[in-house]
Amino acid sequence: MDEQGLKELLIRDNQEFRKAFEDHQTCERELARLRENPHVSEDDSVLERELKKKKLALKDKMYRIMSDYGKAR
């Protein structure tokens, strides 16, 4: 199974993966919203850094779940 297929399977069948995926998408949308603003405040810069860290942690979590699923098969 390819990576995209595995993601789709886990989104459908694994609640923990689905939650991480949804949170990752939320972070991505919020980052896109922040990037639209030409005037970046200090608060926005801090929020952007926090969102990037959270997004990366969620991505790591998703790949860990994918790896564990592959080992269990």
pTM of the shown model: 0.90
CA distances from 72 to 15, 24, 65, 69 (A): 17, 24, 10, 5
- Tell me the average confidence (pLDDT) per consecutive run of 10 residues in the chain, 73 residues long: 94 98 98 92 95 98 95 82
Residue 73: per-residue pLDDT: 76
Residue 70: per-residue pLDDT: 84
Residue 38: per-residue pLDDT: 87
Residue 71: per-residue pLDDT: 85
Residue 22: per-residue pLDDT: 98
